[in-house]
Chain A
Amino acid sequence: MTNNTGRAWIFASDISTDLIFPGRYVHLLSNMPELVKHTLEDARSDYAGAVQPGDFVVAGDNFGMGSSREQAPVIIKLSGARAVLAKSFARIFFRNAINVGLPAIEVNTDGINEGDQLSIDFGSGRLTDHTNGIERRFEPLPPIMTEILADGGLVEHIKKHGDFHL
């Protein structure tokens, strides 16, 4: 195991932004340290309190469906998750995740189990499940998204280049 590995937290398909960031906490919108304690609360109430830095959120299809609230990927990132791995993402969530510097990786997550030790190589597009020996390839992000992610998010990207750098 290297320090690149983290454990898998398994989530179902169709995890909505309401499950990630429940609307009833909207009063915490500008209070990230408090809001992060409720990350994914309505999907799995055990996640926020126990996730470790470098862990992975692993889901089925259509992760992040629903609203455009950007706090959804922000709190997942702040919760310590290294990346979200899902079979597919809702498009606004996907774009938001990259914009805030949270890697969102579209990859086949079948066969990955709760607690498996995972590592990921963004450059070569490879996911490894060290617990059960599964290896998966994934399509690298479109170039603009790779750049935004590498710059640390969209604001940093624009600060650096003064414009989108296509």
Chain B
Amino acid sequence: MPMTLVEKIIAAKVGHEVCPGQLVMVPVDQVFAHDLSGPLAISQLKALGFSGFKHPEKVRFFLDHASPSSTVASANEQKTIRDFALQSGVELIDVGEGISHQVVMERYAKPGEIIIGGDSHTCTGGAVAALATGVGSTDVAIAMYLCRTWLKVPETMRFVIKGQLPRGVYSKDVMLHIVGKIGAGGATYRSMEFVGSAIDSWGLPDRAVLPNMAVEAGGKCGLCPSDAKTKEYLTAQGRPQDYSPLAGDNNAPCQFEMTVDAATLEPQIALPHTVDRVVGVTDKLARGIKVHQIYLGTCTNGRIEDFRIISNILKGHKIAKGTRLVATPASRRVYLEGLKEGVWTSIIEAGGLVNSPGCGACPGIQTGILGSGENCLSTMNRNFKGRMGNPEAFIYLASPATCAASALTGVITDPREVL
């Protein structure tokens, strides 16, 4: 029977065919928590009478949200995690290494795996065709403990992305367009499967934006096929042996199908305060809006490919007066590559500042909290009220190119004007 990608992954794990709606118990290949979800997961493990992991090699803790810590409270939470990781013999990925999702994609995720993470953007792992999904601390604790979890086999929504991206339009614009069309709850409980000639032609860094933002439409996971581009990426990350081909069957029945012709899109903007309030950059609700802060980075668009685009736009220019620019590489690898290539030099010379790798300003804890009434334009995935630490501020979402172009003018600007 033809199967969608998520059905194939689950069926291979449970050893029989599955259909949407079925409840299944699945083995977990990797499970992680971070500095916000970790402390509660640890106390739940202790409540269970924890006395050691059966599979410590599958368990990891990341310190990425406050990287490094900025309050005594978060320093103590991080200390709890460090001590626990040391004592239980599991890997700790400490501050400065980067955002869990980026590091998982670079170092650990393999096609066909089931990955459980104590963070909603765990779905990013779908870029390498892993069924990666976010859960809360208690679910994470139990998954760490049993290396098993229960899932409802999700229905599949197939997104066929075809056509070549026009100048100034990127995978971020495609995903904002999709979320705008189906709505913030449009994929709730479902798997979003991304296929088509455009996906085939994109490298993993461009693809990753789509599964990363699957949760912005409520999706359980977002999945791209594992193919030649996946092999290329895993090889570049130094782990070619982790590659295996995997794709959904194109004739598998699914519950929804939508075709997007990338060639017809213009740069997109999500308006405050929901990710599905999406308009074209030339719309009067977006164009010309004053921007006080530009925030570049996050698990959505904090990769070297993103910073190259930004650096090319900023190089030799100055950021507009009254606008500040904060950049945060998604991982140490991105940071180092950027150093070698000089992308940070162009950003700093243009008047921007560069933070240490991690979540940075995104979760509203540190390094770039907004003032009341201020507007921020960001490459991040979420623009909820209060997201960046201040419910009186306004967050607009866009591609790295749109953010960089807007940094030069101080207002939301169509990147096609500067490219």
Q: Counting CB contacts under 8 A, is A95 at the interface? A: yes
Check B391 against A22 for contact (C-beta < 8 Å): yes
Given contacts A16-B385, A164-B148, A166-B25, contact A70 B120 (CB under 8 A): no
Q: Counting CB contacts under 8 A, is B37 at the interface? A: yes
Q: Counting CB contacts under 8 A, is A96 at the interface? A: yes
Chain B residue contacts of A88, Cβ below 8 A: 185, 188
Q: How far is the CA of A143 from the CA of B77 in the complex (A)?
A: 35
Chain A residue contacts of B120, Cβ below 8 A: 66-68, 92
Given contacts A27-B73, A164-B148, contact A66 B36 (CB under 8 A): no
Q: Counting CB contacts under 8 A, is A150 at the interface? A: no
Q: How far is the CA of A23 from the CA of B363 in the complex (A)?
A: 6
Check A91 against B385 for contact (C-beta < 8 Å): no
Q: How far is the CA of A16 from the CA of B331 in the complex (A)?
A: 27
Check A24 against B364 for contact (C-beta < 8 Å): yes
Chain B residue contacts of A6, Cβ below 8 A: none
Chain B residue contacts of A90, Cβ below 8 A: 185, 188, 218
Check B365 against A23 for contact (C-beta < 8 Å): yes
Q: Counting CB contacts under 8 A, is A151 at the interface? A: no
Interface residues on B, range: 35 or more
Check B136 against A155 for contact (C-beta < 8 Å): no
Interface residues of A in 104-153 (CB under 8 A from B): 142-144, 153
Chain A 57-89: CB-based contact to B (< 8 A → 1; otherwise 0): 000011001111111010000000000000011
- The segment from B39-47, B192-200, B238-246 found at the interface with A is B39-47
Given contacts A42-B391, A68-B136, A70-B137, contact A155 B47 (CB under 8 A): yes
Chain B residue contacts of A100, Cβ below 8 A: 136, 138
Q: How far is the CA of A62 from the CA of B276 in the complex (A)?
A: 13
Q: Counting CB contacts under 8 A, is B142 at the interface? A: yes
Check A69 against B36 for contact (C-beta < 8 Å): yes
Q: How far is the CA of A67 from the CA of B363 in the complex (A)?
A: 10
Check B44 against A155 for contact (C-beta < 8 Å): yes
Residue of B nearest to A163 (CB): B146
Q: Counting CB contacts under 8 A, is B220 at the interface? A: yes
Check B74 against A26 for contact (C-beta < 8 Å): yes
Check A155 against B386 for contact (C-beta < 8 Å): no
Residue of B nearest to A91 (CB): B189
State how many angstroms separate the Cβ of A46 from the closest Cβ of chain B.
Answer: 15
Chain B 36-67: CB-based contact to A (< 8 A → 1; otherwise 0): 11011000100111000000000000000110
Residue of A nearest to B365 (CB): A26
State how many angstroms separate the Cβ of B307 from the closest Cβ of chain A.
Answer: 25
Chain B 272-316: CB-based contact to A (< 8 A → 1; otherwise 0): 001000000000000000000000000000000000000000000
- Residue A62 contacts which of B65, B139, B146, B184 (CB distance < 8 angstroms)? B184
Q: Counting CB contacts under 8 A, is B119 at the interface? A: yes
Residue of B nearest to A156 (CB): B47
Chain A residue contacts of B274, Cβ below 8 A: 14
Residue of A nearest to B34 (CB): A68
- Please give 11 more A-B residue pairs, beta carbons under 8 A apart, in addition to A18-B384, A26-B363, A158-B142: A22-B386, A24-B390, A26-B74, A29-B73, A30-B73, A62-B184, A90-B218, A91-B218, A155-B47, A164-B146, A166-B25
A-B contact list, 27 entries, CB within 8 Å = A19-B385, A23-B364, A23-B365, A23-B387, A24-B389, A24-B390, A28-B73, A29-B40, A65-B184, A67-B119, A73-B136, A89-B188, A91-B220, A92-B215, A96-B135, A96-B136, A100-B138, A142-B23, A153-B138, A154-B142, A155-B48, A158-B142, A159-B47, A159-B49, A164-B25, A164-B150, A166-B25
Interface residues of B (CB under 8 A from A): 23, 25, 36-37, 39-40, 44, 47-49, 65-66, 71, 73-74, 77, 118-120, 122, 134-139, 141-142, 145-146, 148-150, 152, 184-185, 188-189, 215, 218, 220, 274, 363-365, 369, 382, 384-387, 389-391
Interface residues of A (CB under 8 A from B): 14, 16, 18-19, 22-24, 26-30, 42, 61-62, 65-71, 73, 88-92, 95-96, 99-100, 142-144, 153-155, 158-159, 163-164, 166
